[in-house]
């Protein structure tokens, strides 16, 4: 049975998705869950890209012990040296460096000849090996590169010390037959290929990322790369949970083991969805809410007689088992704490107490508390940074006069002063946003606004996600409440606060240099 290592890039390639903006605490929380899920390598970010990314990668490398932590670096001396400073505290320091190899990239993006690209690749790997025991080298846009050129450059980077060779389908151009054939060709023609790991990294522009990844496994790949829920730039990456389940269900065909703890699939997917604000499409394979729903009468009849007639994956396999929730407004602290542990949360006593207070408030207003409600409450506490909020919502009043809504909002600032503004809008949400824009004293542009139900029923929690630019910088905020207008206001404020904290971190980094 071959072991296929899983390289997760949710925190790097996934976070590059439009509208995703994770802070350090949220990245660490996802990294801990990925470690629990069983991924071999976690790509924690791009250390040289920003002080915030550097700090997040360093914290994750210093914290995670059961997965290798890596960071991305261009073929630039400063990138590699900065990455070492971030990653040197890891259990097995690992670097991922890359350069483009396709004719179109070499000519138009790099403005380099093929010989120059080989020279740069070799020098970057040699430099990386001075610091890192594990060096992964990637041929960006490999599937649109000349095969013989790939053989030449891979021969050289392996001699220079690369321990993993990655063959990305960077723009999602390849088909499964072509991608598999490329792996077979390189396996047969690259000198020393048997000494390194051969990795597949697929994008989903033509909807074939998972199929291409599986084709690579069939043709010699020993490592696969992707993201949870398939998030990523443009149409996203290969969804790792789909690859893992495919290897398990079709084990008779692939004869390969991933080492992934499949029962953690649902929780991993939920966590990434909540913290990134990217909703999982209902019909998504493995983790979509309709993945185990059967509406057709013929299907329902078959399921009642034998679930295997229409269900090749069981909810139990991925940890998506309905739990009889007995917590309510009369539940005690011990029962609540026990349920938090059962759900996989590891919170300090202070944060558990804060979550319990929030739970009691919700239980007073809501007849039934769902597992989804608890997941939101506990996750919010788990990723709280403890930093002082710049703006805090004190009061929100919506009034209608001649069918025109007006919002009056009072917020508290760190000095303890309360400030108030009033604005109208064509709708209640627009009135709220107009008022908040006056209060935060900056240029705000809403990029995306979304409200979705966390659970079922008229008393369900509504989760608001606001993606905006504040003084030219993109940020995302979220909040959950039974009052969706309050959730929307708090999500907006959360986005502003996060941006202000990020700016403070950058300023502190500059002062410290």
Measured CA to CA, the distance from residue 448 to residue 75 in angstroms comes to 35
Are 139 and 98 a contacting pair, CB within 8 Å?
yes
Residues 6+ apart with CB under 8 A from 234: 172, 203, 205
List residues forming the annotated binding site.
13, 201, 203, 237
**Within 10 Å of residue 108's Cβ, how many Cβ atoms?**
10
List residues forming the annotated binding site for Mn(2+).
13, 201, 203, 237
Are 70 and 94 a contacting pair, CB within 8 Å?
yes
DSSP lists the bridge partners of residue 410 as 395, 420
DSSP lists the bridge partners of residue 225 as 7, 201
Of 76, 37, 82, 77, nearest to 61 by C-alpha is: 82
**Residue for token digits 């991922």?**
96
Are 158 and 192 a contacting pair, CB within 8 Å?
yes
SS3 category, 167: strand
Measured CA to CA, the distance from residue 7 to residue 173 in angstroms comes to 21
Measured CA to CA, the distance from residue 56 to residue 53 in angstroms comes to 5
Strands (E), 316-434: 392-401, 404-412, 418-424
Residues 6+ apart with CB under 8 A from 113: 106
Measured CA to CA, the distance from residue 277 to residue 116 in angstroms comes to 42
DSSP letter at 207?
S
Q: Which long-range contacts (CB under 8 A, 24 or more apart) does 415-420 make?
A: 418/394
Helix (H) or strand (E) holding 43: strand 41-43
């Amino acid at each position: 049975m071959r072991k296929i290592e899983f390289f997760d890039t949710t925190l790097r390639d996934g976070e590059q998705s439009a509208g995703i903006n994770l802070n350090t605490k949220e990245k660490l929380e996802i990294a801990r869950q990925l470690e629990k899920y069983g991924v071999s390598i976690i790509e924690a970010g791009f250390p040289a890209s920003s002080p915030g990314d550097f700090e997040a990668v360093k914290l994750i490398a210093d914290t995670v012990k059961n997965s290798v932590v890596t960071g991305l670096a261009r073929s630039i001396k400063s990138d590699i040296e900065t990455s070492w400073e971030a990653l040197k505290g890891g259990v097995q320091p690992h670097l991922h460096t890359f350069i483009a190899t396709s004719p179109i990239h070499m000519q138009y993006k790099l403005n380099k000849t093929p010989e120059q690209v080989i020279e740069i690749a070799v020098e970057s790997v040699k430099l990386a090996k001075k610091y890192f025991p594990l060096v992964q080298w990637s041929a960006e846009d490999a599937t649109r590169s000349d095969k013989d050129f790939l053989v030449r450059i891979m021969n050289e980077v392996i001699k220079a010390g690369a321990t993993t060779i990655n063959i990305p389908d960077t723009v999602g151009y390849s088909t499964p037959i072509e991608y598999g054939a490329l792996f077979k060709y390189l396996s047969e023609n690259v000198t020393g290929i048997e000494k390194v790991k051969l990795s597949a990294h697929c994008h989903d522009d033509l909807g074939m990322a998972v199929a291409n990844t599986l084709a690579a496994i069939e043709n010699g790949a020993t490592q696969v790369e992707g993201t949870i829920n398939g998030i990523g730039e443009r149409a996203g990456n290969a969804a790792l949970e789909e690859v893992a389940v495919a290897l398990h269900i079709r084990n008779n065909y692939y004869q390969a083991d991933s080492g992934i703890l499949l029962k953690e699939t649902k929780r991993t997917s939920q966590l990434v969805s909540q913290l990134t604000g990217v909703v999982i499409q209902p019909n998504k394979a493995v983790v979509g809410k309709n993945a185990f729903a059967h509406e057709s009468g013929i299907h329902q009849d078959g399921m009642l007689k034998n679930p295997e007639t229409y269900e090749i994956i069981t909810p139990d396999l991925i940890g998506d088992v309905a739990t009889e929730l007995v917590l309510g407004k009369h539940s005690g602290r011990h029962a609540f704490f026990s349920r938090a542990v059962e759900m996989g949360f590891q919170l300090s006593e202070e944060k558990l107490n804060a979550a319990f207070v929030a739970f009691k408030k919700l239980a007073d207003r809501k007849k039934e508390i769902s597992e989804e409600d608890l997941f939101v409450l506990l996750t919010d506490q788990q990723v709280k940074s403890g930093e002082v909020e710049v703006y805090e919502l004190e009061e929100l009043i919506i009034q209608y006069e001649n069918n025109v809504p007006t919002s009056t909002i009072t917020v508290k600032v760190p000095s303890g002063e309360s400030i108030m503004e009033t604005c109208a809008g064509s709708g209640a949400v627009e009135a709220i946003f107009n008022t908040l824009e006056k209060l935060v004293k900056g240029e705000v542009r809403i990029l995306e606004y979304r409200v979705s139900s966390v659970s079922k029923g008229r008393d369900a929690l509504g989760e608001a996600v606001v993606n905006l630019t504040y003084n030219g910088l993109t940020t995302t905020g979220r909040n959950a409440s039974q009052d969706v207008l309050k959730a929307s206001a708090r999500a907006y404020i959360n986005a502003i606060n996060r941006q202000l904290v990020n700016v403070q971190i950058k300023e502190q980094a500059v002062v410290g240099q």
